[in-house]
Structure 1
Amino acid sequence: MEVFVMEVKEWSYEEYPSFDEPIDGVERIPTTGDEKGAYIFSNVEYARIDETTLHLQIIVPRTRNTTDSDETYPCIVYVQGSAWLKQNINSKLGVLSRLVEKGYVIAVVEYRHSGIAPFPAQAIDTRNAIRFMKIHADEYKADSTKMFVAGDSSGGHSAFFSQLVKEDSNENIYPEVDANVKGIISMYGALSIMFEDGMPSTLNHHQPDSPEGMEMGGVDLRNNPDLCRKMSVECNINEDTPLPPILMFHGTKDRTVNPKISVVVYKLLKKYNKNVKLYMLEGADHGGSEFFTERILDIIEEFIQSNISD
């Protein structure tokens, strides 16, 4: 039997010979090179503030045909929620990859949790993450002119405030770059702490050891209405507040963040003639796969595509 010995060298894909020898009982499955996938750059450092190092999990679209291409994609800086406590930063990488496969770069933000720094540290960290992705767009196939910010639960809160908090010069580690985006996406965002029933399952609501109390520095918010207003989206917007288009989702049976919070914010945004759309997911609780169905991903994609050229 003749044995062919292949030359050992740095082969390019184009010149490498295909193994086409017919083998009895072996089925050959054709491929195109356009099969969609995603690649994760893990633990990319984007900031170091007060001895705390912060990372991004950056997911990029990948196919065989685009691995070495110069193609770029709109980028979503996504803030993983955690009740402002320490995040499980990898918890949604799987479902977020579904959106990446549609042609989007996603950078998942690790923020300084409330045990390290109080509000608005998380929004400032999100702003620095946006700036980092703009600066390093080429490395991760992102289009720096097509940036969006998104988040779930407390991450939705940080996403909103990343576009409301502007006075962050002391912790802006990329002063030459702005943190503006083309749109905000809030998934069941914890956008307000103004309501007694705003967090229906938080028994220590507004107390110093509650998530929102810790977020404001371990304060008893029952006696600090000004701090409640400072941390609530609807108390920090008016008709002159510059905001990009906004897309919101909330479950009708959310036991963690009362769905009426998104409704209150939505109604106020509408009152001030802001570009906003709210979808209520019937029967959905706080998070879950209901928020990443093909229908929801299509809505997100339509939102992004309709705003990238504005």
Structure 2
Amino acid sequence: MILEDIQTKKITGKEIYGIYQPDICYVNRDGIERTLQVIIPETAQDPDKKYPAILHVQGSAWKKQDVYKRVGVMEELAKKGFVTAILQYRESEIAPFPAPVEDAKTGIRFLRKNAEQFKIDPENIFLMGDSSGGNTAFITAFTADMDCMDTGVYKEYSCKVNAVIDLYGVSCVKIKEDFPTTPNQGEPDSPEGLEIGSKNVYEHPELSDQITCMNYVKKELPSPPVLMMHGTADDTVAPNQSIQLYKKLKEEEKDATFYLVEGADHGHPYFWCEPTLSLIEQFFKKHMK
């Protein structure tokens, strides 16, 4: 090789890449292990830097989650300077509501407990979720100050978050027309029926009201800022679900921002591409301490 043909490349050292740590057990409940998929940012210039953290709750109709589905997306957020983690919660086949909320609160506490190990700034932890995961994320964030839907695991650490994102989430399971492609909507064997213990959501309002997000929005109660997004073409969970929740948030004078994403259906790639990931980044960084 001729010396003149050799090229050089200068690296600043500020570039961020993600280190993936799979299947980290954050709790064992009665022999059932629940895990986190964690991606930790790293730079050559500042390997000991602490980062804000995002805990993501994957949508799954409250059934078993594919916790690896959004690992690539979480890596993109890690490159933007966030420790990211994907929560595995007890699915409805194992335990009904409030199991997902209990597990999300435990997951947040686990991240704080292990902040040093995961390079997390414990003062800046955020929560997000999509579909049923959006429901879980919202209720988790809005009940963090309440003595409910919780366990004693890692109780010495806070489960509060700085802000929460709800992507095309389920806000109320008792509006049949908002779930046009669910033929058994509300029945005991429907996703929402299974989540309340294999019961009809209309015949058991004392249970279905517990998974209704609006019921946790009250002016006098503290709550974090909310960013919501929902696709205009969503026929799995109609955009009306988010519209009604946003209306309630504004009525109760909460800090809420809402985007309707034109042409997007349920779980559409539009929610996971650069324009929306930039909105997520900007929203979370706006609410850092």
TM range (shorter): over 0.9
Of 103-112 and 155-164, the range deviating more from structure 2: 155-164
1:244 alignment counterpart: 224
1:221 alignment counterpart: 201
Structure 2 residue corresponding to 1:158, chosen from 124, 129, 136? 136
Taking every aligned residue pair, what percent have the same amino acid on both sides? 36
Q: Deviation at 1:259?
A: 0.6
After superposition, residues 108-147 of structure 1 pair within 5 angstroms as: 108-147=86-125
> Which runs of structure 1 show a deviation greater than 6 angstroms over 4 or more consecutive aligned residues?
none
Distance 2:125 2:153 in 1: 19
RMSD: 1.8
CA deviation profile, 1:243-264 (whole Å, cap 9, x unmatched): 1100111101112111100010
- Residues 109 and 170 of structure 1: CA distance in aligned 2, closer, same or farther (over 3 Å): closer
Q: Is 2:267 aligned against 1:275?
A: no
Q: Is 2:190 aligned against 1:210?
A: yes
Larger radius of gyration: 1
Letter in 1 for 2:58: Q
Distance 1:170 1:272 in 2: 25
Structure 2 residue corresponding to 1:33, chosen from 13, 23, 28? 13
CA deviation profile, 1:130-156 (whole Å, cap 9, x unmatched): 001011111111110001111111111
Unmatched runs of 5 consecutive residues or more in structure 2:
none
Whether contact under 8 Å (2:40, 2:82) holds in the other structure is yes
Q: Deviation at 1:201?
A: 1.0
Distance 2:277 2:84 in 1: 14
After superposition, residues 266-305 of structure 1 pair within 5 angstroms as: 266-305=246-285
Distance 2:264 2:142 in 1: 28
Distance 1:118 1:285 in 2: 27
CA deviation profile, 1:25-47 (whole Å, cap 9, x unmatched): 55443333333321111111111
CA deviation profile, 1:171-224 (whole Å, cap 9, x unmatched): 231111110110011111112112011222111100011000000011122312
Secondary structure of residue in 1 paired with 2:142: coil
Whether contact under 8 Å (1:169, 1:175) holds in the other structure is no
Structure 1 residue corresponding to 2:158, chosen from 178, 182, 205? 178
Whether contact under 8 Å (2:168, 2:230) holds in the other structure is yes
Alignment size in residue pairs = 287
Of 56-65 and 269-278, the range deviating more from structure 2: 56-65
CA deviation profile, 1:81-104 (whole Å, cap 9, x unmatched): 111000000001112211111111
